[in-house]
A = this chain, B = another copy of it.
Amino acid sequence: MQTKTASLQMKILSADYILLMDGEKTVLRKGAVAFEKEILEIAHSSEQLTQKYPQASFEYLGDNSVLMPALINAHTHLEFSSNKTTLTYGNFIEWLTSVMENREKLSSGNIESVIEKILKEMLRYGTATIGAISSFGKDLTPCVSTPQKIVYFNELLGSREEFLNESEADFDRRLERTMRFKSDSFIPAVSVHSAYSTHPKLVNKAVSIAKKYDMPIAVHFMESKGERGWLDKSNGEFKAFFKKFFGIEKSLTTTAEFLEKFEGARAIFVHCLYAKEEELEKMKYQNAHIVHCPISNRLLSSRIFDIEKAKNLNMDFITATDGLSSNFCLNLFNELRCTLFMHYDLSLKVLPYDLLESVTKNPAIALGLPVGQIIQGYSADLISFNLPDTLENDEALALQIILHTNKVERIYINGVEY
């Protein structure tokens, strides 16, 4: 393991299976990849590369080794990493209430060191890029200093008119602070918590900032039945909740008004469990992206995103872990495995590769970063690990990776091994 400042040496790695994640299911058997900070060249045999780059170090990764793009976890809430058994699962409103009641407890103690530890774990799980939703800015220091690339989504939250100025001022402070750390590895961005919890004026502000700085903008959307009922009819499970906590009797927006605001922005809609067909069509028209967080969705909303519906609309999807407030670990291989079982009726000839794309190529495009595929000129963000046995058909590779992998053997970010 090297430090972030280690000097870069050109490397050539050869593996039994190199999965390019190029959308073509390409597998190079005993192929090789040459890289420094970026990927220099990909070849069907290592000899080709060792002759061309004699100064490079060469290594074969061993029996049943897999080399593929490092993973991208596009949606997580690091500030809630202290939760293990505290929050109430099984119903979204009960969960949200338990979050509000335990916010103090969960953010007490040294939250920064908890987040550092989690980020290190995520590295071992093969995650090189993280979309971090920051509600309070308490995750800034660990996010700036971690070797992973962080797209840091400053969140705007607040539905009460009388506190708008305060919410805005707090957001401005947080955004300004993050802009100071902007780099290729730390990318400030914007998040709207949700249609039900963020005042339309704040949504306008968030979208205009995202457009001004060409930032991605993440938003939770239709995560629960309660949200559907509240936005459609100011009714349902959210009614008593809003009355109790905020004294609000009516939704501040309709779904159509809300979605309209994201026109022209690089929007990422998270969850979409209760999104209607026409809403997904609207997202497609806006070139927006969809993130689903299956474990979180099962624990809070007892529903799973309709992958088939998205695929019929020719939309790619992204899989992410959400935070430890609604997950038991932030291991994307574990997340994909659970997703594979949740979608038990979808074909094992199609779903596994789609799932690997949903944590590499697709989130890279949504976040606007040159990662997630092994392509010449892209960042050398790579992982390797070994399967327990050989494979006869390349077709089974994605499935066997998802079934058997937890931690990675190696992770390279910008060509440096961590």
Contacts and interface: CB of A to CB of B under 8 A. Distances in A.
A84 B303 contact: no
A240 interface: no
Given A328-B403, A328-B404, A338-B338, A344 B304 contact: yes
Contact of A348 (B90, B345, B388): B90
A9 interface: no
A84 B348 contact: no
Contact of A341 (B64, B86, B295, B346): B295
A337 B342 CA distance: 11
Contact of A342 (B328, B344, B399): B344
A185 to B, nearest CB: 31
A103 to B, nearest CB: 15
A345 B404 CA distance: 26
Contacts of A387: 84-85
Central interface residue in A86, A297, A391, by most chain B CB within 10 Å: A86
Nearest to A337: B338
A107 to B, nearest CB: 15
Interface string A283-298: 0000000000011011
A345 B89 contact: no
Interface residues of A, number: 38
A333 to B, nearest CB: 11
A349 B86 CA distance: 15
Contacts of A340: 298
A302 B396 contact: no
A344 B303 contact: yes
A347 B64 CA distance: 41
Given A85-B387, A302-B345, A302-B347, 20 more contacts: A84-B387, A85-B388, A85-B390, A85-B391, A85-B404, A86-B389, A89-B348, A89-B399, A90-B347, A90-B348, A294-B341, A295-B341, A297-B344, A298-B340, A299-B348, A302-B344, A303-B344, A328-B404, A338-B338, A341-B342
Interface of A: 64, 84-86, 88-90, 294-295, 297-299, 302-304, 328, 337-338, 340-342, 344-349, 387-392, 396, 399-400, 403-404
